[in-house]
Amino acid sequence: MEARCWLALLLAFGCLFEALDASPGDLDPLYRTCVKQCEETGISGDSSIQHCQFPYSDIPVDSPWYMQEPLYLQWKQLNCKSDCRYNCMMQREKERGKLGLDPVKYHGKWPFKRVFVFQEPLSAVLSALNLLMHFTGWLSFFLLVNYKLPLRPQSMRTYYEYTGLWHIYAVLSMNTWFWSAIFHTRDFDWTEKLDYSSAVASLGFSFILCLLRTFNVKVEASRVMFAAPILAFVTTHILYLNFYQLDYGWNMKVCVTMGVATLLVWAIWAGITRHPSRIKLWVNVFGVALALLLEIYDFPPYMGYADAHALWHAATIPLTYLWWSFIKDDAVFRTSVLIKKVK
């Protein structure tokens, strides 16, 4: 994580980071030997890996719950594997640098320099900022439709027919960026699956919301008919990734297909309907297209911190602000149209 609406394409290609599990770096025999020895001895070069120092005696029964097996030892094993990979990667890259060789990827990712516990500090921070942008965008939308725009006199509900759907969208988007931040902080199997799953879920719902809005579907039964097949497919895909095989290639095809379809539908609809805020929508489309170049022309992290994917996350921040601005404009537009019909 983190294509959808405009954001649909954003998440779609967000699903692409770590496209392959086998990379030149982790296929290097010297690297593999280093990792194996490190996990067995807890030593990597001149470094001692604390998490690889497993106790040989039983842990006392009265120890804190988090020190009990298997939870504590499982956590240590995860950190041992991660720390060994990191230290061996840095060691190999230092050796390669002395030979004048370019950096290579390890386990589908460029070699990043850690900052405290953050494996990819810049991407983690930018993911958190994207989460914040979605929160502030959703909050301003909530205040607009509930306190600034007129409400229906009898029910005191909003005139805007898609208010609830955008609330769900906001929650899913914030969840996506939350797990993106966690995954870029610590890359474990479970954080990776949560990152991918949340991105696919958000992307799938974005596609549904796009169809409901562009086709102006208001009747609940019709909405269910639109949403059911997409929800079924997305749910099946997430279960497949988590419990059968984390297939990066297949996931890429699914994400790109839904993302591109969503983006095209929004762009064409804005032109056909002459929506008053169509310029904002088209700017988002153009912005995503430019930012996508960062994913296409991938490059190693500058100074060990800023790679193309991190810059991609940076590009999504202003686009998120503009996207929520379009959503609020759409709410104002639909509310004014419906009020005129009532009068």
- Condensed to tens digits (0 to 9), the pLDDT of residues 286-317 reads 888 788 777 667 788 888 889 888 998 999 99
Query: Would residue 162 count as lying in a domain?
Result: yes
Same domain flag for 181 and 217 = yes
Same domain for 183 and 54? no
Would residue 56 count as lying in a domain? yes
Determine contact, residues 94/30, Cβ cutoff 8 Å. no
Q: Is residue 186 part of a domain?
A: yes
Burial 44-81 (b: 16+ CB within 10 A, else e): beebebebbeeeeeeeeeeeeeeeeeeebeeebebbbb
The reply to whether 199 and 59 lie within a common domain is no
Element containing residue 47 per DSSP (H, E): strand 47-48
Residues 195 and 334 in one domain: yes
Question: Does residue 75 sit in the same domain as residue 129?
Answer: no
> Are 327 and 183 found together in one domain?
yes
Whether 103 maps to a domain, the answer reads: no
**Contact criterion met (CB below 8 Å) for 185 and 1:** no
The 10s digit of each residue's pLDDT in 171-217 is: 999 999 999 999 999 888 889 899 999 999 999 999 999 999 999 99
Q: What percent of the chain is predicted at pLDDT more than 90? A: 53
Number of domains in the chain: 2
Of 13 and 340, the structure prediction assigns the larger pLDDT to: 340
Helix (H) or strand (E) holding 43: strand 43-44
| CA angle, 288 then 133 then 172, to 5° | 80
Q: Same structural domain for residues 44 and 10?
A: no
Asked whether the beta carbons of 248 and 18 are under 8 A apart, the reply is: yes
The reported pLDDT for the residue numbered 13 is: 44
SS (H, E, C) 128-188: HHHHHHHHHHHHHHHHHHHHHCCECCCCCCECCCCHHHHHHHHHHHHHHHHHHHHHHHCCC
- pLDDT for 18 equals 43
* 202 and 328 both lie in a single domain: yes
Residue with tokens 């170049």: 293
Residues 311 and 287 in one domain: yes
Structural domain boundaries enclosing 229? 6-20+114-342
Let me know if residue 104 belongs to a domain.
Answer: no
119, part of any domain? yes
Q: Are 183 and 195 in contact (CB under 8 A)?
A: yes
